């Protein structure tokens, strides 16, 4: 909880650091800020406290989710470099500050106790992301992405808020446990049932599914991911997804668990639809960035599967999967940033698979990091992604979600096809990529994420026992 | 307390009365008033300088920045009114919270000035 206050102040501090005319200290300062917040967050371990008149609750679950979010942010900040040397049109201090502010929103989304805090957290996160998406001001695609994201996101937030209002009207409570009690009493016939509650639940689920980009609310994702500067795409696909699923899980498992029989069908079919649409469409992509966008939608499908199963192990499955997915995604984007900036087509960074041709010859580290991250995303054994999928599939099996399981296994096989495209391009195709110079911290981040992915693949219990 | 939709009937009556008044006065002025048309009478502005060009000209983005900043710091006053009314009831807790709020706002103001948003000629 203290991490929220600390990060807000650090964000402001970052704004003022921007006046120092020394852009080099910004990134180390931001890294130090996030590490400090991580320490504050871990200090809350094994305490259960309600904050601000029962608005936020910190417990081990929220500490775990916050840790995953902060680790993902740490990695993304570590691979951010300079944001161009254009004095007039780039504002690195502001970008870092907005990233810190958006993390505040994400932490609120995983610690909320009151639906109003969920809404505020979601808005802080979303508004920051709209700005960061459009931060490449002179790029038409970036502008288009920001506008699309903003218009669609504003609608989704409105739908979510309408759902919150209806649920409040039906249950008379904003607190997630208050709603939970009402719904459970409802099942036992002690309180009166109204259709308003179901409409409210439906609208809230739609609003949150939009934010985590599950089908059929995923149409904004490819354009926004492709248009946004790559570093913020990496941020978006890790932090926003983790926070969104934490919020969805908490809401469904605490407030609406009494009506499980009603919403399970909705998520059951949406999960299958998400997996099929995302994986089939990803096969046809030529751009690596766009492929990663569809890959992010498909991972939303897998995560949705464990939310649908609603087992006791669901929370640790979501945590492990988010961690494995975040690490692998950041690695993949980190390699892509270097490769695409190295090879330009028509004056713009080349983001197609062709840019990776012959990467392994002169840059073995980059190619290896890319290969490991792709294997992890595809769910090949001995990587973290395999265990993530394993835990999720076993959750779904325990609940007996047979259709989802069949679809998920088939679509994992499809996933292997498109995740191997960059690996094949970098190892087996001929190309002329010279050795790319990498800054030490960038190199260190790549090595750490690669080792983490393999380590978690060999010994998932390292973190699984904590979650 | 249980409110029925019928309890809000007076609001509907009030709305009807307001609309009826507007319609009645507008009809009455059109009906009773004299009608004299001339070039001068039908001008957009009867007095002052003759208008030139279109009103839709591009305006410097600085005006918008200043306008948005004005709204931002203006709205904050609205937040202070209820605090001032309940000043004694809220006590030191309320005072400290307002200090925090004003402190953050002040930092924002310093940031705006240092960023040079209020510098008109750059």
Low-confidence ranges of chain A (pLDDT < 50): none
SS3 string, A398-410, reads: HHCCHHHHHHHHH
Distance (Å, rounded) from C-alpha A456 to C-alpha A42?
Answer: 20
How far apart CA A18 and CA A92 sit, in angstroms, is: 8
> Which residues does B contribute to its contact with A (CB < 8 Å)?
104, 107, 111, 114
Q: Is the dihedral of CA A306, A311, A313, A316 positive or negative?
A: positive
CA distance A249 to chain B (A): 33
* Chain B nearest C-alpha distance from A10 (Å): 12
Q: Is residue B66 part of a domain?
A: yes
Residue A227: its pLDDT value, please?
A: 92
| Three-class secondary structure assignment of chain A | CHHHHHHHHHHHHHHHHHHHCCHHHHHHHHHHHHHHHHHHHHCCCCCCEEECCCCEEECHHHHHHHHHHHHHHHHHHHCCCCCCCCCCCCCHHHHHHHHHHHHHHHHHHHHECEHHHHHHHHHHHHHHHHHHHCCCCCCHHHHHHHHHHHHHHHHHHHHHHHHHHHHHHHHCCCEHHHHHHHHHHHHCCCCCCCHHHHHHHHHHHHHHHHHCCCCCCCCHHHHHHHHCCHHHHHHHHHHHHHHHHHHHHHHHHHHCHHHHHHHHHHHHHHHHHHHHHHHHHHHCCCEHHHHHHHHHHHHHHHHHHHHHHCCCCHHHHHHHHHHHHHHHHHHHHHHHHHHHHHCEECCEECCEHHHHCCHHHHCHHHHHHHHHHHHHHHCCCCCHHHHHHHHHHHHHHHHCCHHHHHHHHHHHHHHHHHHHHHHHHHHHCCCCCCCCCCCHHHHHHHHHHHHHHHHHHHCCHHHHCCC
Please tell me the distance in Å from B75's CA to the nearest CA on chain A. Answer: 19
Contact criterion met (CB < 8 Å) for A12 and B107: yes
Tell whether B77 is covered by a domain: yes
Mutate to test the interface with A, among B93, B106, B107, B113 (most CBs of A within 10 A): B107
In 3D space, the residue among A105, A120, A108 whose CA is nearest the CA of residue A157 turns out to be A120
Nearest chain B residue to A12, by CA: B107
Task: Residue window 19-48, chain A: list those with CB within 8 Å of chain B.
Answer: 19
CA distance B15 to chain A (A): 26
Contact A15 B111 (CB under 8 A): yes
Pairing type for strands A49-51 and A344-345 reads unpaired
Q: State the count of interchain CB pairs (< 8 A) between A and B.
A: 7
- The pTM assigned to this predicted structure is 0.89
Share of chain B above pLDDT 90, in %: 37
Spell out the residues 6+ positions from residue A49 whose beta carbon is closer than 8 angstroms to its own.
A1, A57, A58
Q: Partners of A50 in the beta sheet?
A: A57
Q: Is A15 on the interface with B (CB under 8 A)?
A: yes
Task: List the Cα angle A332/A338/A339 in 5-degree steps.
Answer: 85
For A110, other C-beta atoms within 10 Å of its C-beta total 26
And the tokens for A289?
Answer: 């960035």
Asked if A16 and B104 come within 8 Å (Cβ–Cβ), the reply is: no
Q: What's the number of domains chain A is made of? A: 1
Angle (CA) A335-A338-A339 rounded to 5° is 85
Residues 6 or more apart whose Cβ sits within 8 Å of residue A430: A357, A358
- In this predicted structure, the answer to whether residue B1 has a pLDDT above a threshold of 60 is no
Interface test with B, best of A12, A14, A98, A192 (most B CBs within 10 A): A12
Cβ contacts of A21 on chain B, cutoff 8 Å: none
Query: Do the Cβ atoms of A16 and B111 come within 8 Å?
Result: yes
> Which residue shows structure tokens 């998920």?
A408
Could you tell me if A52 lies within 8 Å of chain B, comparing CB atoms? no
Question: Which pLDDT belongs to residue A144?
Answer: 94
A16 at the B interface (CB within 8 A)?
yes
The Cα of B117 is separated from the nearest Cα of chain A by a number of Å equal to 14
Residue A88 or B17, more confident? B17
Give the per-residue pLDDT at A136: 84
| Closest residue, chain B, to A14 (C-alpha) | B111
Residue B15 is assigned to a structural domain of this protein = yes
The closest alpha carbon to A125, from A222, A28, A247, A223, belongs to A247
Contact call for A15 and B104, based on CB within 8 A = no
Q: How far is A244 from chain B (nearest CA, A)?
A: 28
Structural domain includes residue B73? yes
- Looking at the complex, report in whole angstroms how far the Cα of residue B118 sits from the nearest Cα belonging to chain A: 16
Contacts of A12 in chain B (CB under 8 A): 104, 107
The chain A residue lying nearest B114, using CA atoms, is A19
ipTM attached to this prediction: 0.80
Residues of B in contact with A16 (CB under 8 A): 107, 111, 114
Residues in chain A with CB shorter than 8 Å from the CB of B104 are 12
Preferred mutation among B115, B116, B117, B122 to probe A, highest tally of A CBs within 10 A: B115
- Whether residue B49 lies inside any domain: the answer is no
Report the C-alpha gap between A212 and A122 in whole angstroms.
11
**Closest chain B residue to the Cα of A17, Cα to Cα:** B111
Q: Which residue of A has its CA nearest to B106?
A: A12
Q: Using an 8 Å CB-CB cutoff, list chain A residues near B113.
A: none
Return the pLDDT at A16.
Answer: 92
What is the count of structural domains for chain B? 1
Taking an 8 Å cut-off on Cβ atoms, the answer to whether A19 and B114 are in contact is yes
Chain-chain contact of B107 with A19 (C-beta, under 8 angstroms): no
The verdict on A192 touching B (C-beta cutoff 8 Å) is no
CA angle A398, A404, A409 (to 5 degrees): 95
Distance of CA A12 to the CA centre of its chain: 24
Residues composing chain A: 467
Q: Considering only CB atoms, which chain A residues are within 8 Å of B114?
A: 16, 19
* Domain annotation covers residue B9: yes
Task: For chain B, give the number of residues.
Answer: 122
When pLDDT is cut at 50, 70 and 90, the band that residue B37 belongs to is confident
> Are residues A19 and A91 in contact, defined by beta-carbon separation less than 8 angstroms?
no
Judged by a CB distance cut-off of 8 A, whether residue A444 touches chain B is no
Residue-level pLDDT at A367 = 93
Mutate to test the interface with A, among B109, B111, B112, B122 (most CBs of A within 10 A): B111
Q: Can you give the residue range of the structural domain that contains B71?
A: 5-34+57-114
Give the separation between CA A456 and CA A379, rounded to whole angstroms.
12
CA–CA separation, A427 and A421 (whole Å): 10
The reply to whether residue B114 touches residue A12, judged by beta carbons under 8 angstroms, is no
State yes or no: cis peptide before A216, omega within 30 of 0: yes
pLDDT at res. B122:
65
**Chain A residues whose beta carbon lies within 8 Å of the beta carbon of residue B117:** none
Instruction: Give the three-state DSSP class for B15.
Output: helix
CATH of residue B85's domain is: 1.20.58.1610
Q: Which chain B residue shows the shortest CA-CA distance from A5?
A: B100
Neighbours of A113 (CB within 10 A): 24
Determine contact, residues A215/A277, Cβ cutoff 8 Å. yes
Name the phi and psi angles at A192, rounded to 5: -85, 140
Does the residue B79 lie in any domain?
yes
Q: What is the rounded distance in angstroms from the CA atom of residue A105 to the CA atom of residue A4?
A: 8
Domain containing A226 equals 2-464
Q: Which of A186-200, A308-322, B4-18, B71-85 is predicted least confidently?
A: A186-200
């Amino acid at each position: 909880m203290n991490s929220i206050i600390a990060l807000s102040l650090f964000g402001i501090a970052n704004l003022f650091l921007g006046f120092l005319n020394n852009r080099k200290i910004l990134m180390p300062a931001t890294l130090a800020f996030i590490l400090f917040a991580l320490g504050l967050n871990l200090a809350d371990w094994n305490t259960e406290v309600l904050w601000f008149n029962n608005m936020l609750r910190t417990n081990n679950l929220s500490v775990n989710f916050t840790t995953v979010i902060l680790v993902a942010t740490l990695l993304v900040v570590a691979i951010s470099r300079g944001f161009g040397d254009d004095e007039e049109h780039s504002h690195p201090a502001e970008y870092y500050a907005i990233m810190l502010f958006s993390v505040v929103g994400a932490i609120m989304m995983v610690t909320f106790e009151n639906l109003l805090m969920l809404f505020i957290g979601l808005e802080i996160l979303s508004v920051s992301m709209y700005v960061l998406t459009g931060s490449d001001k002179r790029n038409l695609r970036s502008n288009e992405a920001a506008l699309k994201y903003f218009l669609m996101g504003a609608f989704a937030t409105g739908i979510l808020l309408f759902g919150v209002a209806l649920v409040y009207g039906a249950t008379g409570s904003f607190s997630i446990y208050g709603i939970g009690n009402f719904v459970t009493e409802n099942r036992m016939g002690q309180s009166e049932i109204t259709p308003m509650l179901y409409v409210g639940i439906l609208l809230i689920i739609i609003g949150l599914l939009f934010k985590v980009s599950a089908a059929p609310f995923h149409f904004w994702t490819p354009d926004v991911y492709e248009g946004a500067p790559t570093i913020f795409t990496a941020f978006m696909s890790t932090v926003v997804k983790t926070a969104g699923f934490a919020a969805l899980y908490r809401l469904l498992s605490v407030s609406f668990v009494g009506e499980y029989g009603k919403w399970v069908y909705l998520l059951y079919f949406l999960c299958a639809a998400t997996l099929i649409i995302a994986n089939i469409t990803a096969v046809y992509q030529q751009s690596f960035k766009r492929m990663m966008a569809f890959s992010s939608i498909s991972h939303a499908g897998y995560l949705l599967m464990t939310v649908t199963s609603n087992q006791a192990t669901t929370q640790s499955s979501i945590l492990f999967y988010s961690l494995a997915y975040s690490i692998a995604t950041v690695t993949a984007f980190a390699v892509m940033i270097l490769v695409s900036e190295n090879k330009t087509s028509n004056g713009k960074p080349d983001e197609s698979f062709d840019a990776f041709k012959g990467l392994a010859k002169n840059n073995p580290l980059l190619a290896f990091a890319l290969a490991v991250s792709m294997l992890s995303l595809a769910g090949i054994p001995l990587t973290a992604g395999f265990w993530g999928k394993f835990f999720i599939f076993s959750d779904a099996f325990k609940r007996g979600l047979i259709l989802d399981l069949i679809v998920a296994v088939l679509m994992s096989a499809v996933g292997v096809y498109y995740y191997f495209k960059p690996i094949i391009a970098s190892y087996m195709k001929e190309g002329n990529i010279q050795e790319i110079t990498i800054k030490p911290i960038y190199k260190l981040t790549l090595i750490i994420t690669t080792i983490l992915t393999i380590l978690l693949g060999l010994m998932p219990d390292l973190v699984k026992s904590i979650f | 307390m249980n409110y029925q939709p019928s309890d809000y009937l007076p609001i509907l009556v009030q709305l009807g009365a307001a609309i009826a008044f507007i319609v009645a006065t507008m009809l009455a002025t059109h009906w009773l008033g004299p009608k004299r048309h001339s070039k001068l009478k039908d001008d957009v502005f009867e007095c002052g300088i003759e208008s030139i060009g279109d009103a839709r000209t591009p305006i410097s983005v600085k005006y918008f920045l200043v306008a948005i900043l004005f709204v931002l710091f203006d709205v904050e006053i609205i937040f202070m009114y209820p605090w001032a009314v309940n000043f004694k009831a809220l006590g030191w807790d309320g005072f400290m919270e307002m200090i925090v709020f004003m402190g953050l706002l002040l930092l924002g103001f310093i940031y705006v000035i240092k960023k040079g948003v209020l510098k008109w000629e750059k």
